[in-house]
Amino acid sequence: MFYVSGVEFDDEPPPEHDDEPRWESDFSDWPSTGADAPDAVGLVMEVADVIAVFAAERLVRVDRMRREALAHAERYGWTMTDVVARSIRLELACALRITEHAAGDLLGLAEAVVHRYPPVLESLSRARMTERHAEVLVSALDRCLGPGCGMPASRCHIDHNVAWEHGGSTALTNLAPFCEGHHIVKHHGGWIVRQLPGGAIEWTSPTGRRYTVHPERPVPAFRTTADNDAPF
Ligand SMILES: [Zn+2]
């Protein structure tokens, strides 16, 4: 355990420096429980789930710590806020043995995930995505990726473009934020939706018209790849 500004953190395990890759370990000497012996892939999946849940908890605690420290600083006047904000970054950087810049990124991610994108936090805490997925989604995708839609990602569902039950994975190449309306259209509207390399989403209408929606849009935008007139 260690403490930053009175908030308790679990120690993160130190990085492994073994020469042997961990996943080549031999599990044949594991005690038998009568159940199926765990295989290496199963163990990796379990560990990944635990890491995702810990990441969600850590982001919540980091955000709470920052807010409490800033609220405390405000009692002494706004001029203290900048000083305290920097000291929070430095304390976090020391505690986690990362750079001040990385600590600033972590605080920003915690603030965004906890307050602006609750569906991302929920996905993370249920181990449906990793911290890296959350980081990229928060920084790159700030709106619904439906054609012409401006719904903020904070009010979107995180959609598996190819459903889990159809072999879709929880990977960035298979995740996108869709508002409730576009989520329904995708699943029940007869449209074909697929993710293109680079993260753009291609929507093909029931009449065959195609629209490509790009992430990292400053404003909602879409363009058609067909030469036909607008369908509206
Ligand atoms: Zn939408």
**Bridge partners (DSSP) listed for residue 93:** none
The model's confidence at residue 218, banded by pLDDT at 50, 70 and 90, is very low
Whole-number percent of the chain with pLDDT over 70: 70
Residue 156 Cα, ligand 1 centroid: separation in angstroms? 8
Predicted confidence (pLDDT) at residue 221 exceeds the cutoff of 80: no
Report the C-alpha gap between 170 and 129 in whole angstroms.
Answer: 6
Segment of 41-45, 157-161, 209-213 carrying the highest mean pLDDT = 209-213
Mean residue pLDDT of the chain comes to 75
Q: Is the pLDDT of residue 1 over 90?
A: no
Ligand 1 centroid–CA 172 distance in Å is 19
**Is 0.75 topped by the overall pTM?**
no
- 3-state SS of the chain is CEEECCEEECCCCCCCCCCCCHHHCCCCCCCCCCCCCCCHHHHHHHHHHHHHHHHHHHHHHHHHHHHHHHHHHHCCCCHHHHHHHHHHHHHHHHHHCCCHHHHHHHHHHHHHHHHHCHHHHHHHHCCCCCHHHHHHHHHHCCECCCCCCCCEHHHCEEEECCCHHHCCCCCHHHEEEECHHHHHHHHHCCCEEEECCCCCEEEECCCCCEEEECCCCCCCCCEECCCCCCCC
CA of 151 to the centre of ligand 1 (A): 6
Express each pLDDT in 12-31 by its tens digit.
Answer: 544 544 454 444 444 455 45
Does residue 156 have a pLDDT over 60?
A: yes
Q: Where are the domains of the chain?
A: 2-13+38-125, 142-224
Residues 6 or more apart in contact with residue 78 via CB below 8 angstroms: none
How many angstroms is it from 157 CA to the middle of ligand 1?
Answer: 10
Q: Which residues have a Cβ under 8 Å from the Cβ of 55 and sit 6 or more positions away?
A: 124, 130, 131, 134
Average pLDDT value for residue range 104-119: 83
* Pairing outcome for strands 201-204 and 192-195: antiparallel
Inter-residue contact 215 to 195 (CB < 8 Å)? no
- pLDDT above 90 coverage of the chain, percent: 10
pLDDT digits (tens, 9 = 90+) for 174-184: 778 888 899 88
For 158-208, the pLDDT digits (tens) are 777 777 677 776 666 677 888 889 988 888 888 888 888 777 889 999 899
Is residue 59 very low, low, confident or very high in pLDDT (cuts 50, 70, 90)?
very high
Cα torsion for 135, 166, 38, 54, to the nearest 10°? 20
Residues, Cβ < 5 Å to ion ligand 1: 144, 146, 149, 151, 179, 182
pLDDT at position 229, please?
A: 53
Higher pLDDT, 123 or 171: 123
CA 149 to chain centroid, in Å, comes to 21
If one compares 143 and 220, the residue with the highest pLDDT of the two is: 143
- 55-59, 173-177, 218-222: the lowest-pLDDT one: 218-222
Over 60: is that where the pLDDT of 88 sits? yes
Which has more confidence, 161 or 4? 161
Cα(207) to centroid(ligand 1), Å: 20
